[in-house]
Amino acid sequence: MLSGISGCAGIEPPNPGDIIRQPLGKDGLRAGMTKNEVMSIWGEPDTKNNNVLLEGSGKTREEWVYNARYEGIPIDKRYFSQTKRLYFDGNNLTDFK
C-alpha cells in the first residue's frame, strides 16, 4: 500500500539576504523556546546577566552571552564567528542577536 506524500504548504524558503548572513541557518532557535531547549542546542552560555535593560524598550530581560569561538571565519554558525546574545523573559526566549 502506498501512502500519499503531503505538500509543504506554509514552508517559506529563505530569502537571498538570509542565506548570505546565515548560510547554515539559525540553528533551530526561535522565540518562545525554554531555557532547557536552548541549552540542549547550544549548551551552557559563557555568561548569564540578570536585569539587562533592552535598548528603546525600557524593559529588562535575562541575557545569555555565547562568546565567539573562531572570530574571523567568513560564515556564521551558532556562535562560532560572532558573539551571540539571547534574551529571556522568565523561562522563554524572547529575542536573540
Locate the domains of the chain by residue range. 30-96
For residue 24, pLDDT over 80 is answered with no
Q: Are 86 and 64 in contact (CB under 8 A)?
A: yes
Within 10 angstroms of residue 84's Cβ, the number of other Cβ atoms is 20
For domain 30-96, give the fold.
Beta-lactamase Inhibitory Protein; Chain:B, domain 1 (3.30.1450)
For 64, other C-beta atoms within 10 Å of its C-beta total: 23
The answer to whether the pTM exceeds 0.95 is no
pLDDT in tens, 50-97: 988 777 777 888 999 998 877 666 655 556 668 889 999 999 999 888
